[in-house]
Chain A
């Protein structure tokens, strides 16, 4: 019969309409500004720089190796190396960035900087609602604006940050053991037999 298909379709629409009052499968709308979904652990938006301890610039993990600057596909990272070195978490002297700018209006949130960083220094943030009228003040971020504590990183990417923290702790212990061995090692040749 002509029109039967339309009636069948209408029944389907009515079922969906009625279902939207009680079936969570059919009512998926989130009233966004008032209501927000919990963030997903893997979600990524823009990069930030991780620092350890309380002092942001002293604890910055970045060693200004410029790998991320070279690999960044849209070329949104700009780094200038500092002449002054600073000790890293195992006490080794490392370079540090004098300038570290990310133009987040150019950044395409691909996360390649994170993937290539050998120092776990740059990670992806989960902030959004970044729109602003101030192009250079709010979207061209310098290292002070980019630096965020490790606690924040642990908060947003729990699994990944946990693994990194364990690895860094091991490295630290190894470095301390090596330093202790080194401190102890030169002595035996100076006073042979004293070790016994």
Chain B
């Protein structure tokens, strides 16, 4: 090409309405895994955003249809790998509904405690990552992960693994609490509020954080409800919907706790909701640690191997840290489910990403994605 052609291209009038297409991801630190956003930019402003996912597709549902009912529990750990225990619980609960098993009371208390600890892990990690997306590199994430490690130590001493816990079984739990576990958890719960205070002193009043989050990525109540958004994302818009209250599954009906609600549905509300939820989780943990009864931890009727539930279907759902996590199982009487389907909160919360990002700058799109709280293991399955 001649030099003249290039200079004539350069000489064209400034393209006011020419859009710049940017492919953000899949290997980008701010996309929280292998996730890609095809963004069309007008200057710095997002005018079109297309989420592209599937890079982490592992065929989980089909594998689970070929596995025994027991065999897919370790695979559920790998859905949302930050909160393996809540995934275990949702699956175990669905199989219990399908096979007519009832978990003993002690097992239900253990489940509540573990899932609240998981919520602490998830929310503190999310707060750390969100701040990292905003440019607070390292420090908040390091503080959050320091607390997370302490909870992971508890998980390891109970379940044998830090992240892939594989602990809950249909009809109860795999093993009883080791000696001293309750005391360790109690001291962790007693020390956690000081971490939260510290974290809030570090960040909540910070002017940069307020400037980056207030009024950014506003999600309206109507859109959130219509799109099926659940979890902290939905509550940040002001809709009072928490499955722990609505269904009162397990023994949640026995604990007194409040459901924090946002007002504007912007990124700041979504951040704040998580901090407040952690405080409520601590209240539930205190009550559960006080009231946990002695007794068996698994239903004696529960048969781990060769479980063949009667033909039928069941849908079990729990309030996972990210939203409504549901499992839908159809049994045809065989040793493996005929159909196995997951309702992943991350994926459904991600569907409104474009609506939140339109008209925002590209830097804010990253923050908005961070506030949605996705884990690609669950989005792609």
Contacts and interface: CB of A to CB of B under 8 A. Distances in A.
Contacts of A186: none
Contacts of B166: 110-112
Contact of B207 (A2, A11, A25, A116): A2
A192 interface: no
B74 A108 contact: yes
B38 interface: no
A5 interface: yes
A87 interface: no
A28 B71 contact: no
Interface residues of B, number: 40
Nearest to B145: A28
A9 B129 CA distance: 17
A18 to B, nearest CB: 13
B74 to A, nearest CB: 4
Nearest to A4: B205
B27 interface: no
A16 B194 CA distance: 13
A124 interface: yes
Contacts of B160: 40, 42-44, 111, 124
B207 A12 contact: no
A67 B305 contact: yes
Interface string B186-217: 00000100000010011111111110000000
Contacts of A116: 70, 304-305
A41 interface: yes
Interface in A56-110: 67, 71-73, 108-110
A110 B74 contact: yes
A3 interface: yes
Contacts of B73: 110, 112
A48 B158 CA distance: 21
A25 B68 CA distance: 43
Given A9-B206, A28-B146, A115-B174, A42 B157 contact: yes
B75 interface: yes
Contacts of B156: 40, 42-43
Interface string A1-34: 0111110110111001000000001101000000
A13 B259 CA distance: 31
B271 to A, nearest CB: 14
B202 A12 contact: yes
Contacts of A41: 157, 178
Contacts of A3: 207
Interface in B161-187: 161, 164, 166, 174-175, 178
Given A41-B157, A116-B304, A6 B207 contact: yes
A8 B205 contact: yes
A71 B71 contact: yes
A73 B210 CA distance: 47
Contacts of A67: 305
Contacts of A44: 160-161
Contacts of B72: 73
A73 B159 contact: no
A109 B71 contact: no
Contacts of A4: 205, 207
A8 B201 CA distance: 6
Interface string B47-66: 00000000000000000000
A128 to B, nearest CB: 12
A154 B104 CA distance: 31
B334 to A, nearest CB: 15
B205 A109 contact: no
Contacts of A26: 146
B75 A12 contact: no
B74 A28 contact: no
Contact of A9 (B150, B153, B201, B305): B201
B164 A109 contact: yes
Contacts of A2: 207
B306 to A, nearest CB: 10
A16 B205 contact: no
Given A8-B205, A108-B74, A111-B166, A13 B178 contact: no
A115 B160 CA distance: 13
A13 B164 contact: no
B255 interface: no
A73 B74 contact: yes
A3 B209 CA distance: 11
Interface of A: 2-6, 8-9, 11-13, 16, 25-26, 28, 40-44, 67, 71-73, 108-112, 115-116, 124
- Listed from nearest, the 4 A-B pairs whose CB atoms lie closest are A5-B205, A110-B74, A73-B71, A44-B160
17 contacts: A4-B205, A5-B204, A6-B207, A8-B205, A9-B206, A12-B198, A12-B202, A13-B139, A16-B198, A40-B160, A43-B156, A71-B68, A73-B74, A108-B164, A110-B73, A110-B74, A116-B70
Given A4-B205, A8-B201, A40-B153, 6 more contacts: A5-B204, A6-B208, A9-B206, A25-B191, A44-B161, A110-B74
Interface of B: 67-68, 70-75, 77, 139, 143, 146, 149-150, 153, 156-161, 164, 166, 174-175, 178, 191, 198, 201-210, 304-305
